[in-house]
Structure 1
Amino acid sequence: MNILICDDDKICVERMKEYVQDFFRDRKIADYKIYEYFSGEAAARESDIIDIAFLDVEMEGINGIEASKILRKNNKGIVVFIITSYMGYLDDAMDEGVFRYINKPLDKNVISRGLRKAVELCYKKQSKKIVIKESKNNVIIEQDDIIYIESIARKRCVYTEKQEYLTLESLAYWKKLLDDDMFFLVNKSIIVNIKKVEQFSNNNIRLKGIEQEIPLSRDRKSEFKQKLLLYLAGQE
């Protein structure tokens, strides 16, 4: 897990770093890395995947909210904390999906409580790794990258945003392997990723990045709608 801390006050960065280290040490979590920055410009240039960011809102140049906008372009699931002593930025922060405000002076207990919830959220957002067994190779992909899986003759075609894969594993195998709250068998030969649904009608589903519509079986329509609504409710 990658944690970014950015504040133009070096003492604040050191204190925040100490609190973060204490949090992970107390929970015996060793798999984390801390990135320290003292300007919004420098933080915004970070190219590594960042899971959680603590950003001071009152910095010269690029402030914390502006830096969070840039970071979010490469880190869609980033959890952002805004550090401030002035609550006037609340509306802007809410517009950018900021997870929480942290007031100065820093309070270790407040940070620890916020970190606990942020870490739980990050673990939930992390995509499961999937192994696709092709004829000659085993390919590892992110579950989130799958758009849909179609049964064609004796093979299954796994469609992702970047590539298509052919495998002999059955639809029953894929249905059992994939997360049930995220994938749904919309007809006897196609499993779709609920997250990729762009629109649907009584008979068809349109998926992001896919031109052709996917047929929706009449007897699965009600369950599909319920599954989609449950997913959307979880995103609020």
Structure 2
Amino acid sequence: MTENHGKSFRSVIVVAVVALVFFSGTFFSKNADASTSSATGSVTTSLLGGTLGLVTGEVGGVLSLVNCTLGSVLGTVDGTLKVVPAELGALLPVVNYTLGSTVYSLAHLDNTLLHTVSGTVHTLVPDLVNGVVVPLVGDVGSVAGLVGGVTGDLGSVVNGTLGSLSSATSGATSAVASTANTATHSTSGLIKRAYSANVASRLSSHHLVGYHARMAHHVRL
């Protein structure tokens, strides 16, 4: 329909241009006679009437087309406006149900996760304590007892060794002291006997001298 209107409108323009050219040439010609002018005026009038009729028809067609198009658009808009609320009314319960289901699912999932975590913690902590901490403490105590036993054994060995060395050293010292004491007593006895013999010898010599002197005195007498 639009293509036909376009062709008619172009035809009207062509006819109008031809008519105007013809009218202008006829109007401005100085040598044309009255009969020619009359015929030209009739033709021009007819052409202008036809052109105006075509233009009026084209304008009417265009207006009819515009009116029809606007009616269709308005009808579409009106139908859309009537459909949208209905669609929204049908969609809202679905959205509401979907949101409610989602919230319920999330809450249920949250509750399930909490129960799972709580159960895991309640199970894991005793297992951790009984399976790891208690044996580890026992192992530490065993290692401490073993170290204490080794330390006690080393202390006994060291104390016994030191005691033995001390006893041996004390015995050796006592033996040396006893030997030195014995030697001192022996030496002292020898010195005393030698001194006594010397004294006795001196006394004997002195006694003999005195005896001989007395004897000589008696002999002289």
Using structure 2 for the length normalisation, give the TM-score. 0.15
Larger Rg: 2
Name the structure where strand makes up a greater proportion of residues: 1
Using structure 1 for the length normalisation, give the TM-score. 0.14
Name the structure where helix makes up a greater proportion of residues: 2
